Structure 1
Amino acid sequence: MVSCHSTDLTTKRGAKGDEDAANVKLETFDFTLNSTNMTHFAYGIAANVVAVLLYGSNFVPIKRIETGDGMFFQWVNCAAIWVVSMVGDLMLQSPKFHPFAMLGGVIWATGNITVVPIVKAVGLGLGVLIWGSSSLLMGWATSRFGLFGIAAQDVSRPILNYCGAGLCLLSGLIFFFVKTDVELHPNTESIPLLIDRRLNSGSYGPSSSEFWIDVVGPKTRRFIGCLLAVVSGLLYGSSFVPMLYIKTRSSCQDSVFHGASVYDLDYVYAQCSGIFVASTVYFAIYCAAMHNRPRIYSRVILPGLLSGMMWALATYCWFLANNYLSAVITFPIVSAGYGLVAALWGCLVFREVKGLTNCFIFLLASCVVLTGSLLSAISKL
């Protein structure tokens, strides 16, 4: 009896020990999983912050440099983007190149060439806010609802995600009421990104003919400018669709993209190649339209290269953040955040925002965009 009782007791103790060990392993697994999720979340937020800072400071190097009509600057800028992407491609050991991903770069470059008439029609500040808002909605909706054949991305707290995207959009509308004070000094170093060539053609740089947007009436010009800004933002927001489409089809056996990488950084080089090819074609068309007499400003070369490098590095950081957080989280943060950073440059450094009322509206919009970005970030947790 004693022997049998001892055996039963030992068996029960052994079973209890196995159960305790299993519970310990389960708790350890949960702790490790939560730690990994938090680590990925931290990496994603850090990459997002760097992307926002670089995107928002992208035009600072050429803020005081004469760029003429901007076409030559855009080509130099896109050349720098392509060079940085080549270096990144070598660092990533040259992953498979998908020509279809170049379509995203073509879409982005197409939206980018509308910047000149937009700024001529409604100004740089209002133009950025309009195309930023439409870009935000397009990028967020594409990732959230799975438009254009890509996979929809779910979040843990969808209500917070909707509220975050809505607040980011609201901030753009509030920024619309911030009046900027940008003085033009064509005879000094303080030259804006784009200037009215009709007023300054005889005082700085080579003369030029009027743009087509300059000869239309004020109301029509404003309508065209706003419409082009919306279209440009939609193109910006949809420029990542080809890459996401490839990733979605990578697991389909009957797809030509079967086995494609799901790592976003592997597609940066293809997209940047599309940007450079499209910008080169557009610049060649521009040169032909100008009868081989394009407006070229040599002082824009180095600042343009630096600006392109900043944009390319920001894109790498953004794509890295997508792997940790997903595009439905990062797109509202980046789209709203870089506008805030650019506004801070204009307010604190270039003194474009003056007056108590303007400063109050600017502060309100800043709080709204920060709240929206925070809600978008925590909706993933």
Structure 2
Amino acid sequence: MVSCNSADNAAEQGAKGHENAATGKLEAFDFGSNSTNMTHFAFGIAANMIAVLLYGSNFVPVKRIETGDGMFFQWVNCAAILVVSKVGDLILQSPKFYPFAMLGGVIWATGNLTVVPIIKAIGLGLGCLIWGSSSLLTGWATSRFGFFGIAPEEVSRPTLNFCGAGLCLLSGLIFFFVKTDVELHPDTESIALLLDPGTVSASYGPRSSDLWIDVVGPKARRFIGCLLAVISGILYGSTFTPILYIKSHSSSQDSVFHGASLFELDYMHAHCSGIFITSTVYFAIYCAAMKNRPRVYSRAILPGLFSGVMWALGTYCWFLANNYLSAVVTFPILSAGYSLVAAMWGSLVFKEIKGYANCFIFFLASCVVLTGSLLTAISTL
């Protein structure tokens, strides 16, 4: 998703401590010595692993909470993301705000609309695995080949990088064959605040809080869930492309982004502002479509806020990892890693994966994704 372009790589060859004249921030690192190289590699991997854990766990707080159609949950989630980004913006002394970076937030919020239907249809584990693989291929290809006007990024060992990304993608395809056991209504006591409680039936028939995905057949539900996961993954994989574009053109004299910061955290607040504004627009449209009677679930508020905080902190950690390594290295690790973490939550805690055959497929795919992540990591050394 976010990547350091070739211009960034050239800048990063300078001595640590040199400041970018346009931003006044420490953005260059010395990769001249082996010790410095290994230190930065260790810092980058550590930050990436923290991001993996946070991304892979950020939907856990709402797994057993009734979220209805997910529109209210998304808005609460995005509000928390905005707050965290504003705190980070103040810590970074409010760097220049680029509205173009908000476009990535629009893309992310659009993809995030499908999260609740996906989790209800195929479960947390399988959903994350499929959209993680789709996101991996999209983001890695964008960084590696330079799509959308972005300079392609090089690595020391391209063969290892290709093999690692390929194995990570293969793991996602293997995970596709894992069958899940998803509980459609985990919280039967949760009642929408803006609905008449008397309309919520305790029977096994359709309830007013049911999402459309709940009332379709099992086979159709699985197909729709997998399709939505692929689509959301493509959107997730494209979400930081606008930031990539800004950085790629920061050294061009003719570009409106000339002199833009190479430090990715400087764009975080603009990106998150786009997320919140877009989610607010979607929620307003939803409220109008529901004739001002949206499904608002009180028990989803705190978990939704906590989920948003986890996502925002995970993104900060990932941006730091990109600063030490590069997205062509960190992105496959992140996408495959958080998918694996989510799958472990789904299988070990929520019991979505049952049976010896499913467990074997899960174990096989886990070995493949770990191998792919390792190859991708060492391809930059």
TM-score, length-normalised on structure 1? 0.83
Distance 1:181 1:114 in 2: 19
- The equivalent residue for 1:175 is 175
Evaluate the alpha carbon distance shift between residue 216 and residue 363 of structure 1 in structure 2; reply closer, same or farther with a 3 A threshold.
closer
* Gaps in structure 1 of 5+ consecutive residues: 1-29, 192-199
Distance 1:302 1:126 in 2: 25
Answer with 312-321 or 219-228: which moved more: 219-228
Deviations 1:342-380 (Å, cap 9, x if unpaired)?
Answer: 111122222333332222221111111110000000000
Query: Given residue 167 of structure 1, which amino acid in structure 2 is its aligned partner?
Result: L
TM-score, length-normalised on structure 2? 0.83
Evaluate the alpha carbon distance shift between residue 358 and residue 216 of structure 1 in structure 2; reply closer, same or farther with a 3 A threshold.
closer
C-alpha displacement at 1:68, in angstroms? 1.3
Q: Where do residues 109-124 of structure 1 align in structure 2 (5 Å cutoff)?
A: 109-119=109-119, 122-124=122-124
- The equivalent residue for 2:50 is 50
- Contact 1:57–1:341 (CA<8 Å) still a contact in 2? yes
Does residue 145 in structure 1 map to residue 148 in structure 2? no
Evaluate the alpha carbon distance shift between residue 186 and residue 149 of structure 1 in structure 2; reply closer, same or farther with a 3 A threshold.
closer
Query: Given residue 51 of structure 1, which amino acid in structure 2 is its aligned partner?
Result: A
C-alpha displacement at 1:247, in angstroms? 0.3
Answer with 214-223 or 72-81: which moved more: 214-223
Secondary structure of the residue aligned to 1:364 is: helix
- The equivalent residue for 1:271 is 271
C-alpha displacement at 1:93, in angstroms? 0.8
- The equivalent residue for 1:231 is 231
- The equivalent residue for 1:20 is none
Distance 1:231 1:167 in 2: 21
C-alpha displacement at 1:132, in angstroms? 1.7
Distance 1:216 1:67 in 2: 18
C-alpha displacement at 1:114, in angstroms? 2.3
- The equivalent residue for 1:196 is none
Secondary structure of the residue aligned to 1:147 is: coil
Q: Where do residues 203-282 of structure 1 align in structure 2 (5 Å cutoff)?
A: 207-208=207-208, 223-282=223-282
Distance 1:342 1:294 in 2: 29
- Contact 1:187–1:203 (CA<8 Å) still a contact in 2? no
- Contact 1:64–1:190 (CA<8 Å) still a contact in 2? no
Deviations 1:240-265 (Å, cap 9, x if unpaired)?
Answer: 10001000100001110000000011
Answer with 170-179 or 37-46: which moved more: 170-179
Evaluate the alpha carbon distance shift between residue 355 and residue 119 of structure 1 in structure 2; reply closer, same or farther with a 3 A threshold.
closer
Distance 2:189 2:168 in 1: 35
Answer with 179-188 or 47-56: which moved more: 179-188
C-alpha displacement at 1:183, in angstroms? 4.0
Evaluate the alpha carbon distance shift between residue 211 and residue 65 of structure 1 in structure 2; reply closer, same or farther with a 3 A threshold.
closer
C-alpha displacement at 1:227, in angstroms? 3.4
C-alpha displacement at 1:128, in angstroms? 2.8
Greater share of helix residues, 1 or 2?
Answer: 1
- The equivalent residue for 1:347 is 347
Distance 1:226 1:180 in 2: 12
Secondary structure of the residue aligned to 2:148 is: helix
- The equivalent residue for 2:156 is 156
Evaluate the alpha carbon distance shift between residue 201 and residue 138 of structure 1 in structure 2; reply closer, same or farther with a 3 A threshold.
farther
C-alpha displacement at 1:177, in angstroms? 2.1
Evaluate the alpha carbon distance shift between residue 93 and residue 374 of structure 1 in structure 2; reply closer, same or farther with a 3 A threshold.
same
Distance 1:167 1:212 in 2: 35
Evaluate the alpha carbon distance shift between residue 187 and residue 339 of structure 1 in structure 2; reply closer, same or farther with a 3 A threshold.
closer
C-alpha displacement at 1:36, in angstroms? 1.2
Secondary structure of the residue aligned to 1:148 is: coil
- Taking only the aligned residue pairs, the percentage that are identical comes to 82
- Contact 1:81–1:308 (CA<8 Å) still a contact in 2? yes
Query: Given residue 134 of structure 1, which amino acid in structure 2 is its aligned partner?
Result: S
Q: CA RMSD in A?
A: 2.6
Does residue 333 in structure 1 map to residue 338 in structure 2? no
Evaluate the alpha carbon distance shift between residue 120 and residue 342 of structure 1 in structure 2; reply closer, same or farther with a 3 A threshold.
closer
C-alpha displacement at 1:124, in angstroms? 4.5
* Gaps in structure 2 of 5+ consecutive residues: 1-29, 192-199
- The equivalent residue for 1:62 is 62
